[in-house]
Amino acid sequence: MTGETIGGLRVLAEARWPEPGDAAPPTLPGFVHSTFSPVVAAVADRCLTRRHGERPAPEPVAARTAVVLVSAAGDRASADHVRATVAQGGRPGPLFFFQSVPNSVAGHVAARWGLGGPVVCVAPTGDPLAEGTAEAELLCADGDADETLLIMIEQPPGDAGAAGPGEAPGTRAVAVLLGGGDTR
């Protein structure tokens, strides 16, 4: 896909999770219980590394790179855990507060790579790539970003991690760095 144009924007880099050889995603400090955020961070790192090599992303593009996270269901494992804990009259751990919205891991990616564009999380009602690309194109055409890291992720119900030792998790994600379009 890299080098192709989708939705008026050029694909500058792409990555998937898992790719051949992947097992569980690297642990992400501050995020617990669920593979949702670690997979977002891993696929984002992979995509941005393919484009930029090392962190942080170079200026001036870094300051005008948006992060758009697309997920219909969000972090199911964390939400299910919180719902069950509260239903039983318990207290969720404080880290679940910090990972209660997808913005948190999107902000982690932005901080790690020095990205200063908009941070937008959306749940598509139709095709995730089409909706994510439409959001990226709008941000770029409107002038708040020049490039967009688009991350699409879905976590199957009940998936709090890998199916077994050494196996890839059921949570799957695609990251695409979009930019270079001439839509303005």
Tokens of 49: 């590394």
Nearer to other proteins, 23 or 73 (CB): 73
Nearer to other proteins, 21 or 153 (CB): 153
Give the Cα separation of 89 and 66 in Å (integer).
39
φ, ψ dihedrals at 96, nearest 5°:
-70, -25
Q: Which of 120, 151, 175, 178 binds other proteins (CB under 8 A)?
A: 120
Q: Which of 100, 129, 160, 161 binds other proteins (CB under 8 A)?
A: 100
Q: Which of 2, 10, 116, 129 binds other proteins (CB under 8 A)?
A: 116
Omega cis (within 30) before 60? yes
Q: Which stretch binds other proteins (CB under 8 A): 6-14, 16-24, 98-106, 169-177?
A: 98-106
- Our finding on whether 182 is near other proteins (CB under 8 A) is no
Q: Which of 24, 105, 152, 174 binds other proteins (CB under 8 A)?
A: 105
Parallel, antiparallel or unpaired: strands 172-179 and 65-70: unpaired
Give the Cα separation of 61 and 139 in Å (integer).
14
**Please, is 125 exposed, middle or buried when counting C-beta atoms within 10 Å of its C-beta (0-12, 13-18, 19+)?**
exposed
Nearer to other proteins, 116 or 161 (CB): 116
Within 8 A by CB and 6+ apart from 49, the residues are none
Measured from the Cβ of residue 165, the count of other Cβ atoms closer than 10 Å reads 7
Q: Which of 19, 90, 163, 180 binds other proteins (CB under 8 A)?
A: 90
Q: Which stretch binds other proteins (CB under 8 A): 1-9, 11-19, 83-91, 171-179?
A: 83-91
Measured from the Cβ of residue 107, the count of other Cβ atoms closer than 10 Å reads 14
In the complex, which residues of this chain contact other proteins (CB under 8 A)? 30, 62-63, 66-67, 71-76, 79, 82-83, 85-86, 89-94, 96-98, 100-108, 110-111, 113-126, 131, 134-135, 138-139, 141-144, 157, 184
